[in-house]
Amino acid sequence: MFPLQPTWSNTRINLLQRCPRAFVLRYGLAKLSKHHPQGQVLSELFKIQTPWILMHQTIRGLLLDYVEDYVNGTIWSEKLVRIRFKKDYKQAITARNQRIQQLFHHGIHSSLFQLAQAEEHLIEMGVKSCIDMIQHNSLIRWLSHGSIERKNPVSSVTNENIRLYCSPDLIHHGRNGTTLIKFYLYGNLNSNERTHQASLIQSYGDNESTVALFILHRRKWYIHTTKPVEHQRKGAMNLIRQDIQHMETAFSKVNKNNDLSNVPLADSYRACMMCNVRFMCPSRHGFENAKAEQRALMCRWG
Ligand code: SF4
């Protein structure tokens, strides 16, 4: 059940904190059985995102395409940004709908899996966020001097034998050194969270690299620039080690024959409301009952 190499990412730890059961299903069982049809279906389930999340993913993709084209000498007009956003977002929604239809073929139905359309107000929101970012002074400055490259979002680094996925989106090399740039699209980060993220992102450069976090909060971009120092990097790795221990504890609760009854359910029903695997979880028949049954089971097994 354990990955060969301990692996950390924001997505993993966020899911573990929301629900150990969902975490084990996604990063344990689905990966373990990826060559089995049921394992493939399980993986597909976790790939279905809401139109809201897809809108944010489209923003990131578009900004990276914009920068890449800019570097190659093609500067997009606002009109082109709008056309590209609309096209990319519609494609993302179509791919989502196709995944859902595949699940219907497997007899899987859930209130969360509704076919959707690319809604105009989400397109407008996404276009505005892209244009605001493209017109941001800091991005304009980085584009106008030095070199800037796009980073593959799934590139990883290894630190203390832990594989870390926390890649910057862009890397800029200029006369003031290297800047690692990351877009955060899903709400605000407090000061500790920013330091934590920046310390991890810095491992994609060197100890002198600056980290710039662009945070989209209430439809506005905020930039935080920092250069993490030794004790911040150490503090971040301490937290990562603790996270890895929590992940291994969750994996270790899977019994023989992949029995998950010992793996804790979410602490709060709120986590279940948007959970893609609720239809196959004991909590589908009532969260409180499922929790009570699990507590009784765990007491019996000591
Ligand atoms: S439905 Fe709730 S308890 Fe079950 S896996 Fe999802 S989040 Fe966890």
Domain assignment of residue 196, yes or no: yes
Domain assignment of residue 194, yes or no: yes
What's the token pair of residue 292?
């009570």
| CA-nearest residue, atom 2 of ligand 1 | 272
Atom of ligand 1 nearest to the CA of 284: 1
Q: Is 37 left (phi over 0), alpha (psi -120 to 50) or beta?
A: alpha
Q: Is the CB of 29 under 6 A from ligand 1?
A: no
pLDDT of 179: 98
Domain assignment of residue 282, yes or no: no
pLDDT digits 0-9 by tens, 102-141: 999 988 888 889 999 999 999 999 999 999 999 999 999 9
Domain assignment of residue 39, yes or no: no
Mean pLDDT within 168-176? 96
Atom of ligand 1 nearest to the CA of 265: 3
What's the token pair of residue 281?
């979880």
Domain assignment of residue 153, yes or no: yes
Q: Which residues form the domain of 174? A: 146-235
> In this model, does residue 32 exceed pLDDT 90?
no
Q: Is the CB of 281 under 6 A from ligand 1?
A: yes
pTM of the model: 0.92
Domain assignment of residue 254, yes or no: no
Q: Where are the alpha helices (DSSP H) in 75-216?
A: 78-105, 120-134, 137-144, 191-201
Q: Is the CB of 26 under 6 A from ligand 1?
A: no
Average pLDDT along the chain: 93
Domain assignment of residue 70, yes or no: no
Percent of the chain with pLDDT over 90: 76
Q: Is the CB of 240 under 6 A from ligand 1?
A: no
Domains held by the chain: number: 1
| CA-nearest residue, atom 1 of ligand 1 | 278
Listed residue (114, 86, 89) closest to 99, CA to CA:
114
pLDDT of 2: 62
Domain assignment of residue 224, yes or no: yes
Q: How far is the CA of 19 from the centre of ligand 1 (A)?
A: 6
